[in-house]
Copies of this chain bind each other. A is one copy, B any other.
Amino acid sequence: MDRLELHPKGASRALIIGTVAYDDIITPYGKGEWLLGGAGSYGALAASYFAPAALVGVVGYDFKKDDLERFRKRGIDIEGIQHNPNEKTFYWKGRYRDDFVGRDTLALDLNAFESFKPVIPEAYKNSQYVMIGAVDPDLQARFIDQLGQAERFIVLDTIDKWVDQKRDQLLEVLKKVSLFLLNDDEVRLLMDDSSTVRAGKRLCEIGPEYVLVKKGEHGLLLFSKQGMFALPAFPVEELRDPTGAGDSFAGAIVGALASMGRRDLPALRKALVYASAVASMTVEGFSCSRLEQLGIDAIQQRYEELLAMTQL
């Protein structure tokens, strides 16, 4: 399996739509406050290693210039980040339990995100590779409505809250996407089915071209009409902070596909190995500290390690 050419000349844009946030994170190994976070941030940072990335989101009056600079340093186009002078930035505080068996949300303030009227800049509207983070399905639908009619590959993420509270809207919006991401519990809940495998197959029949069940440290299971694909996660020895693992995974998928300019199943499988490599490195650092400092060589090396340990 050939390496991907990262950031090839003329690569398509990876458009990342999602929250830009401040996180307070408590893990068994340490804690931090006012950390750059949010699905949009993790997604854009991850995508930026593969292709030109652009980020759409909103920040409040408390958002630090230094943090905007972190996106710019990674070459991310931030023209699509709105600034709300009257509200604070989206804020999340969470605590991971011992051995990372679960996490508790201690605070969640939508702040500037609550009144967010998404405007996708004209220049982005024909983006072919798009990630939409796990926000309210109604909002996700409004994002999609603004995108042009170009052949596009939309990766959509969700969380259990929306499966539970906005099931119908979610089932509606996911018909418009190419790749739908969710976890074990969520796919069973959404399809009201005790079998993850049967639920994944059924969801694929009624919805998107690809359904991907994220299993964290246990890897992923991809469903498509052409069959299943299973990939183990890279075995991380020392988990530091799982925050953003799924978001950097999603962003890297979009980035990798954009760098290839392809959306077929072999390309997607390759993108998933790259995305798993990136996610495994994200969780080795606190907040997005490691993700932000990955070199292209480090990503290629982890990719090859993951291939070596999964391919016969």
Q: Which residue of B lies closest to A307 (CB)?
A: B312
Give the shortest distance, in Å, between A156 (CB) and chain B (any CB). 22
A227 vs B234: C-alpha distance when bound (angstroms): 12
Max chain B Cβ within 10 angstroms of own Cβ: one of A218, A273, A308: A218
* Cβ 8 A contact of A197, one of B197, B215, B236, B269: B236
Q: Is there contact, CB below 8 Å, between A309 and B227? A: yes
Q: Which residue of B lies closest to A199 (CB)?
A: B237
* Cβ 8 A contact of A311, one of B196, B198, B309, B312: B312
Q: Is there contact, CB below 8 Å, between B239 and A195? A: yes
Residues of B within 8 A of A233 (CB): 230
Q: Is there contact, CB below 8 Å, between A232 and B232? A: yes
Report A194-240 residues with CB < 8 Å from chain B CB.
194-198, 201, 215, 218-219, 221, 227-233, 235-239
Q: Which residue of B lies closest to A239 (CB)?
A: B195
Q: Is there contact, CB below 8 Å, between B237 and A197? A: yes
Is A99's beta carbon under 8 Å from chain B?
Answer: yes
Residues of B within 8 A of A221 (CB): 232, 235
Residues of B within 8 A of A231 (CB): 232, 310
Given A99-B194, A228-B235: A310 touches B310 (CB 8 Å cut-off): yes
A194 vs B237: C-alpha distance when bound (angstroms): 10
Is A88's beta carbon under 8 Å from chain B?
Answer: no
Is A1's beta carbon under 8 Å from chain B?
Answer: yes
Is A7's beta carbon under 8 Å from chain B?
Answer: no
Q: Which residue of B lies closest to A311 (CB)?
A: B311
Q: Is there contact, CB below 8 Å, between A198 and B312? A: no
Given A218-B215, A238-B195: A227 touches B308 (CB 8 Å cut-off): yes
Residues of B within 8 A of A1 (CB): 312
Is A270's beta carbon under 8 Å from chain B?
Answer: yes
* Cβ 8 A contact of A309, one of B198, B218, B228, B237: B228
* Cβ 8 A contact of A218, one of B219, B236, B266: B219
A229 vs B308: C-alpha distance when bound (angstroms): 8
20 contacts between A and B (CB under 8 A): A99-B194, A195-B238, A195-B239, A197-B235, A198-B237, A198-B238, A218-B218, A219-B219, A219-B230, A219-B232, A221-B232, A221-B235, A227-B308, A227-B309, A230-B232, A230-B309, A232-B232, A266-B312, A269-B312, A311-B311
